[in-house]
Amino acid sequence: MEAQFWIDRWAAGNIGFHRPDYNEYLQQFWSQIGVDASAKVFVPLCGKSLDLNWLAEQGHAVIGNEVAEQAVEDFFRDAELEAKREKSERYQGFSHGDIRILCGDYFALTEEDLDGATAWYDRAAQVALPPEMREAYYDQLAELLPVGAIGLSLSFEYPQEQKSGPPFSVEEDEIQRLCHGRFSVELLDRMDRLSLEPRLVEQGLTRADEAIYRLVRI
């Protein structure tokens, strides 16, 4: 997926992946994974997710990354927040209070850009990427985060031949492979989404699960 694909989708308002409320699994599992209350949390490919607000409400400083400037501007506008802007060679920074979003290429970020983040949250990053980009995604994540960093990672699972992504299906065996030597993996739960979202049946899916993982940088 080229960056322009997502920039164009945001420009066209084609953002059916955006959810207008807090993620239920973030709320349910975040307190269980052992993230320190004072930890800074990294949220890759964050869009304008309200989950940034929820994490900040828990007392975390939050640093997001998003390639589409429209999404970042929408986030602060929707929250009625005046964002302070900064610019570097690799990204534009938007910040207000405990929330800062770096607008630019995820793969160009450095550990210094994350400014000490020791936790992360992935609701829609890995499932937004086609198979050929996921290895690089996890390589970069391992470079950005220190040993011991804890993450909550959500994944969507369905028969890929029944539907084209994004979101793509990322099964547990692939996550185990991608994390090998980088992160320890603990499956916390797997939720049946087919019975909760009739639209998935209408799209032709015969199985649709959301898997919730606790990952730790090793």
pLDDT at 89: 86
Which residue type, as a one-letter code, is found at position 196?
L
Alpha-carbon span 49 to 62, nearest angstrom? 12
| Class (C level, CATH) for 3-217 | alpha beta
User: Which run of H or of E encompasses 52?
Assistant: helix 51-57
Residues whose CB is less than 8 angstroms from the CB of residue 131 and which lie 6 or more positions away in sequence, other chains included: 168, 174
Alpha-carbon span 82 to 4, nearest angstrom? 26
Residue 37: how many CA atoms within 13 Å on its side-chain side? Answer: 3
- Cβ pair 56, 98 in contact under 8 A: yes
pLDDT at 186: 98
Q: Supply 88's token pair.
A: 């570097």
pLDDT in tens, the chain (218 residues): 577 887 777 667 666 666 779 999 999 999 999 999 999 999 999 999 999 999 999 999 999 999 999 999 999 999 999 999 999 888 999 999 999 999 999 999 999 999 999 999 999 999 999 999 999 999 999 999 999 999 999 999 999 999 988 999 999 999 999 999 999 999 999 999 998 888 899 989 999 999 999 999 99
| Residue 110 burial (10 A CB sphere; 0-12, 13-18, 19+) | exposed
- The pLDDT > 90 percentage for the chain reads 83
What are the pLDDT digits (tens) for 149-181? 999 999 999 999 999 889 999 999 999 999 999
* DSSP label of 82: -
* DSSP label of 194: T
Query: Cα 42 from chain centroid?
Result: 9
pLDDT at 36: 97
Any idea where the domains of the chain sit in the sequence? 3-217
pTM of the model: 0.94
